[in-house]
Structure 1
């Protein structure tokens, strides 16, 4: 499906009867509005399955709908598409449906019952919906598509589609990454970049549903379906040892942590920064093996910080007290952490103050609400920390470091 520029040189054929017909979005820098950073762009993966019958699996985001339709027409006469499969109704997957349905209005759309609600709620159209449940099959001729409901991975309507014969799992948002690459496949791209984007995707999108992720993976594996390729809806396709990402998801879903502590702070006049650095020195003095990462939350990407927090045994969060509250970058981060619901992680607070000094108490309470185990009631320093205060911060760090040895 040539469509100009670099994409003319790309291999869109996954195999003899499955073709990638999506869109690579090289320019994307934020997703879910402005909520999620996408430093390496993304892709909206749509797949055309051609057997005796033809099925289109998902579409692309609405801004690329016309381009998608035009390119799809170069691949196939649209009237020959027998079925549309909507694995998930979110508009980055379904955004081209209104334009497509104007071309082939009676084509049945296979999705979950919640998928029908989602698509009707977003597009206000009464298309030819066909609800499916786990185990339902769609016969394409020589092969079948088996549907597997996957609620809350990451919306209530999500499902997987499995193509027999070719042993391909179309996993929608699961196992994806926001990662634009002309190379298309996991064995061709930079592995460090791939896994950086995969764990960031998991930590910021799927982590709240980790218990469901673990159960769903076990359910899929219990079906004993051979999986040779995993085709997600964002990022590259897993064709070499595709189960490697499934195993990573099992690991990440199981209260994941590495031997790391992340120190997060915001600061007005560098006092809280000096506290963070002194605390880090104290930790390292007694716990040489632990990885320590420091982030100024006002100057660092929130989603990158969240990813490091997800990897950590513990986090320390610091802010000065300003107008009886904390600085807004810390307040926003604490709110995000509460929503993500990380498990099996420890935490404590620190901060400077001038007169009222509520920040440590506020941060501690918010961390507790977010499910962190509070391992110290925290430390606060009046004004700019002097040498005595820095020494106290180091001692605080040593206490934390000893706790994290266990």
Structure 2
């Protein structure tokens, strides 16, 4: 049976939700599932904005058929050609052979790559417009947010931004389509941050370019391709994107990521966290990199102003799970953080130096010295070293 949502008098959500998916893009855990959003506008001409992943394809076509009723489909606008949004495009064209594909030149090339079909597409460029009757759409290019062909579509009539992957989030929609219908900050923000940082985080400059374009138009609603639709308090979410895309810390706090083989490095991390708390710091997060997915640590590193990495030496190098996290942080272009290190080694502690080398290659990273070196297990004589690291962290904070 169809499952659609009215957004305005003539605009409908016709997407679907996947709560069975274990790994988004076969890499990111999505314990809360994911939504695939598509939209239909019933103007003098009918307009489909994007499609969905094949996992919810059957539901999508039930929804599309219901909303269109006896009408044909005139246009399908492709904002982003990634398969989680365009897997159903070929089937849409087969079912509605008169449909006009609307996309930019790069998208047209990718359609051929995925589907091996030729389409008589209407190719649009920056600031081109399309009138469908009451509504007029303007197209804004958004390359590398997060593929090179991405664009966003702005409805100048209703002031709606169809934002592609921008302003999206992990998490299935549980009946409530609008962000103001849920406790977004408590129940959705972590998924939104983890989505942004891992999917788009590398491309801060490109996101900034899109934000500048968006600031020049009056936006009363944002319809992303994943997650809730925004119609109130839009500025709050845009401000999050402003911080994330400029790599400014979201919170003054400490994220401690540790690796531990027999528990001794973990104990040192716990002691450090406890001493920080004793000095009044409340914003402390701790993650064992062997049981926490790297995407969570990446997200938290974008959130927190100060990062501590604690790792044993393993085969003369960094513990493998910690090395993966650090490589991920570098790949996602993290910058502007204050960092401290704890290293452990029974006979040759080298992980601290190597972690420092990885972090120092990133932009605008402040490394607190010296690192704490643990020989097998933290001893009582190192209490002053822990206190010195605590003081260095707190002194460098904007509290």
Q: TM-score, normalised by structure 1?
A: 0.91
Q: By how many angstroms is 1:290 displaced?
A: 5.5
In structure 2, what is the equivalent of residue 381 of structure 1? 374
Matched, 1:71 2:63: yes
1:33 to 21, 26, 29: 26
Long gaps (5+) in structure 1: none
Q: Do the aligned partners of 1:334 and 1:366 also contact (CA within 8 Å) in 2?
A: yes
Distance of 1:247 and 1:384 partners within structure 2? 43
Q: By how many angstroms is 1:227 displaced?
A: 1.9
**Which moved further from structure 2: 305-314 or 44-53?**
305-314
Q: Do the aligned partners of 1:161 and 1:169 also contact (CA within 8 Å) in 2?
A: yes
- The 1:15–1:279 alpha-carbon spacing in structure 2 relative to 1, beyond 3 Å, is same
Long gaps (5+) in structure 2: none
Q: Do the aligned partners of 1:261 and 1:290 also contact (CA within 8 Å) in 2?
A: no
1:186 to 179, 196, 210: 179
Instruction: Give runs of aligned pairs for residues 261-340 of structure 1, distance below 5 A.
Output: 261-286=254-279, 288-289=280-281, 291-340=283-332
Q: Secondary structure at the match of 1:293?
A: strand
1:237 to 229, 232, 243: 229
Distance of 1:62 and 1:178 partners within structure 2? 17
In structure 1, what is the equivalent of residue 208 of structure 2? 214
Residue deviations 1:78-107 (CA, integer Å, cap 9, x gap): 871111111001111101112222222452
Q: Secondary structure at the match of 1:317?
A: strand
2:16 to 23, 40, 62: 23
Q: By how many angstroms is 1:285 displaced?
A: 4.7
Q: Secondary structure at the match of 2:177?
A: coil
Distance of 1:78 and 1:200 partners within structure 2? 41
Distance of 2:219 and 2:136 partners within structure 1? 14
Matched, 1:402 2:395: yes
Q: Do the aligned partners of 1:89 and 1:115 also contact (CA within 8 Å) in 2?
A: yes
Matched, 1:82 2:74: yes
Q: Do the aligned partners of 1:83 and 1:109 also contact (CA within 8 Å) in 2?
A: yes
Distance of 1:238 and 1:151 partners within structure 2? 22
Q: Secondary structure at the match of 1:146?
A: strand
Distance of 1:284 and 1:190 partners within structure 2? 28
In structure 2, what is the equivalent of residue 365 of structure 1? 357
Aligned residues: 395
Q: TM-score, normalised by structure 2?
A: 0.92
In structure 2, what is the equivalent of residue 146 of structure 1? 138
In structure 1, what is the equivalent of residue 83 of structure 2? 91
